[in-house]
Amino acid sequence: MVDAFSRTRSAPGPGLFAPDADRARPRTPAGERGTRTRTALVTGASSGIGAAVARRLADEGDWRLVLTGRDPSRLREVAEDASATAFAADLTLPGAERKLADFALATAGPVDLLVAGAGIGWAGEFRDMPPHAIDEVFDIDVLATLRLVRLLLPGMIEAGSGRVVLIGSLAGCVGVRDEAVYSAAKAALGAFADALRYELRGTGVGVTHVVPGVVDTPFFERRGAPYRRSRPRPVPAERVADAVRRAAARGRDEVYVPGWLRLPCRVRGAAPGLYRRMAARFG
């Protein structure tokens, strides 16, 4: 069920939309020799990493942006900053992902880049976690993303190009105390990214798994507990957005933000017993 949607009123140009009468017909910007403007769809774009990604892509000037999120007012602000079209929706509701995909196709054309940034967390011991919170984390972090990817993949495969960027988490690689369900959800996204990448080999469609550590966003306020660890230190959402932009441009399969986070993930994979002892001692 759609909560709201808005459209920017800027004049047409690279990365912007044409007037209403021409919205279903993507324009060809000057200097691209007959190629159409690329379309990017960003979920979770009303704040945090998704909003930062939208602004970074807008800076490039050659993307038609469709943004979605659950907060209409915040989403509208981000869309105005990024000269994008906003489609506010709760993607966990039945049929919402179909409405979003149809909207993106009608207003901006086939989607070339999907950045799945929507996600929530929950902090606390698993035995204290309400059942509805378990469902909500998996519905938003995993199921809504998989359903949307499933709808957009056929168009990318038919075009022989495109990229799916999944925003994961270090918690999905190593597991984090008091974030059992969130860790499980992000681990599911990581496994999905690997399996889908193998499946799409030779189609021209790529899958990027972005693995950030702690990011300075409203995520921690909304999960119900602030971030209190001294390490790792939070990084700005813009740093993750830069990594997303570079990974999409270069066709990277997996990116860690910051890069040193690759090390604990590698230790976890190569010496799981040692890693578990260290994690139990140092948290």
CA 160 to each of CA 112, 157, 205, 231: distance values in angstroms, whole numbers, following the listed order: 10, 5, 7, 42
Block residue for tokens 């799409």: 200
Q: How far apart are CA 31 and CA 168, in angstroms?
A: 36
Instruction: Give the residue numbers marked as catalytic.
Output: 182
Kind and range of the H or E run holding 222: helix 219-223
CA end-to-end span of the chain:
41
Would you put residue 250 in left (φ > 0), alpha (ψ -120 to 50) or beta?
alpha
Q: Classify strands 38-43 and 63-69 as parallel, antiparallel or unpaired.
A: parallel
